[in-house]
Amino acid sequence: MMKKKTVMSKLTPLGVVLCLLASMAIFGCATPSPTPSTEPAPTPPAQTGPQYGGILKVSDIFDAGASLGYPPKLLRVYSMRQSSPVIESLFRIDETGKVVPWLATGYTSDVAAKTLTLILREGVKFHDGTDFNAEAVKWNLEQHINAKRADAAKFTSIDVLDNYTVRINLSEWDNTIISNMTQALGMIISPTACEKNGIEWAESNPIGTGPFEFVSWEKDVRTVFKKFDGYWQKGKPYLDGIEYIPIPDTLTRQLSLRGNEIHLALTLDAKDLTGLEKDGFPVTRINVGSGAVSAIPDSANPNSPWADVKVRQAAQHAIDSELIVQSILFGEAEPANQWIYKRHWGYNPNVKGYPYNPEKAKQLLADAGYPNGFKTKILYRTNPRDDKIFTAVQGFLKDVGIDAELEPTTTGRYDEVAFQGDSWEGLIMNAVSPNPDLPAALALRYSGGGKFFTQMLVPDDYVQAIQNAITAPDFETKQKYTQEAMKLMIDKYALQVVIYCMFDYAVSQPYLHNHGYFDTPNTTAWTPEEAWLEK
């Protein structure tokens, strides 16, 4: 068992890189940035219940305004979050991870007949006046079939049984469909508006059944929504409107929160959370973990060094995940040896993983025919946090002889490679908050279905384990095959270089109530219809 290095001993030779990044607070070369000199958040008066009025201002790193309105193309977590005020889903996830009714009031399943029947909510209208009914749901589900989405791959046809009942016919049973319907698969838009104006128009002009209507989008400035007076939940929403304001710089986003310019901030720097909480800003966390950050090698490329499993294993042994979590993320994450957090039912305690061991990494590289290492690239979506993470990963790989060139890129380019079938060279960042139904996430993104990560190796026994999990007739069988897939992914094939599992968090003003961000394991959704601002 290798003795673990301290933070300071790790600074040589990696320290040259890390100390150049002192302003990024990496590996002990910098301390947390000073708390901005502003007054603590004022203590609000006693809460008396929901109040009407006000414009809620939410800020994150990314601007999703160009891809909000057409669910088959909603591929990113933050796109689904930002579309939630307008586009509702057939089902939601509650605080315990249980699927609960929303636009659908219930469902029945017939495993033998391979059918799933949805019962729909009556009296709901889209923002353009179109009725929400079985025909609208059929049209929406057929869009996913036509787009060849992996989560609709088993749909053979959709039948309208009556005005509020839809039957989905399947090629084989799939127990992940209902949980997938809490995300993009179940998000419902007006077929009338899309048919009239086209898919490209719909992408940036969302029209749904939600508590807010889309008003406008100004690229990299703001997306504006206003209250929908015809919302099906009487008396809601409480807010007059919502604005999404992208602020890429973490410190600027924090100062905007402290300066009362925004009401809720996402993706802040982990080192600043303690100071914000001390100053009275509530922090909402999913501290059971909400997804993995990893690097996916181009292992399906026979000409790549990463096609050799020993190289992939070497990379995993080269990276000190615990040091990254403590020194960059200040403990607001979980070091991981597999692609799920420890308290998830799919976590496999029998996975050995690859503990930090650079000497073993070097030996594996030599065994693979790379005693002097090799050159490669790391493609990732640039933002302050991931700039730090992948600079650190670059340094760790350099220590064992893998000379990785960083390729920070835009969200648009990243999506083309990760989700739309373009190729990459070397490693690509993978950071996702998955569907709480783990086999659904594995089947959608990491099993060769659709256009997700097309250069990742997908061995037959690994894919079969995922298929066995999603077609299982009971939970015990589903768990068994999910854990088998996890062991194959990591111990046998090292398909992903896992770094850590995220703890998502939101920081808000003390007078903002019931926003719902990160109250449930489904990090793509929140509760805009419940949110209210205390005056």
Q: Domain containing 525: what range?
A: 55-60+211-286+506-533
- 297 and 274 in a common domain: no
23-35 pLDDT tens trace = 343 333 333 444 4
Q: Which amino acid is at 478?
A: K
Q: How confident is the model at residue 289 (pLDDT cuts 50, 70, 90)?
A: low
For the cut 60, the answer to whether the pLDDT of residue 338 exceeds it is yes
Tell me if 133 is assigned to some domain: yes
Query: Residue 91: beta bridge partners?
Result: 101
459-468: long-range contacts (C-beta < 8 A, 24 or more apart)? 459/488, 459/492, 459/493, 461/488, 462/488, 462/489, 462/492, 462/493, 462/495, 466/439, 466/442, 467/443
Last residue of a domain, one of 196, 228, 258: 196
- 528 and 406 in a common domain: no
Query: Residue 292: beta bridge partners?
Result: 432, 501
Are the CB atoms for 340 and 292 separated by under 8 Å?
A: yes
Rounded Cα–Cα distance for residues 310 and 34 (Å): 43
Residue 195, C-beta contacts closer than 8 angstroms, at least 6 positions apart:
none
Give me the number of domains the chain comprises. Answer: 3
- 372 and 278 in a common domain: no
- 497 and 359 in a common domain: yes
Tell me if 247 is assigned to some domain: yes
- 101 and 230 in a common domain: no
- 279 and 137 in a common domain: no
Q: How confident is the model at residue 75 (pLDDT cuts 50, 70, 90)?
A: confident
* pTM (two decimals): 0.78
- 394 and 344 in a common domain: yes
For the cut 50, the answer to whether the pLDDT of residue 37 exceeds it is no
According to the model, what pLDDT value does residue 34 have?
A: 44
219-228, 479-488, 502-511, range with the lowest pLDDT: 502-511
* Mean pLDDT to the nearest integer, 229-240: 98
* Mean pLDDT to the nearest integer, 477-482: 95
Last residue of a domain, one of 196, 229, 264: 196
According to the model, what pLDDT value does residue 437 have?
A: 84
Q: How confident is the model at residue 301 (pLDDT cuts 50, 70, 90)?
A: very high
According to the model, what pLDDT value does residue 40 have?
A: 55
According to the model, what pLDDT value does residue 47 have?
A: 55
* Mean pLDDT to the nearest integer, 364-371: 98
For the cut 90, the answer to whether the pLDDT of residue 245 exceeds it is yes
Tell me if 466 is assigned to some domain: yes
According to the model, what pLDDT value does residue 435 have?
A: 63
- 404 and 426 in a common domain: yes
130-188 pLDDT tens trace = 999 999 999 999 999 999 988 899 999 999 999 999 999 999 999 999 999 999 999 99
Tell me if 234 is assigned to some domain: yes
Q: Decide the pairing of beta strands 212-218 and 222-227.
A: antiparallel
Rounded Cα–Cα distance for residues 122 and 164 (Å): 7
According to the model, what pLDDT value does residue 31 have?
A: 38
Residue 304, both tokens: 């790549």
- 173 and 119 in a common domain: yes
- 295 and 258 in a common domain: no
Rounded Cα–Cα distance for residues 417 and 381 (Å): 11
According to the model, what pLDDT value does residue 441 have?
A: 84
Tell me if 355 is assigned to some domain: yes
Tell me if 324 is assigned to some domain: yes
Tell me if 316 is assigned to some domain: yes
CATH (domain of 161): 3.40.190.10
Average pLDDT, the chain: 89
Tell me if 498 is assigned to some domain: yes
- 441 and 303 in a common domain: yes
- 150 and 295 in a common domain: no
CATH (domain of 427): 3.10.105.10
* Mean pLDDT to the nearest integer, 349-373: 97
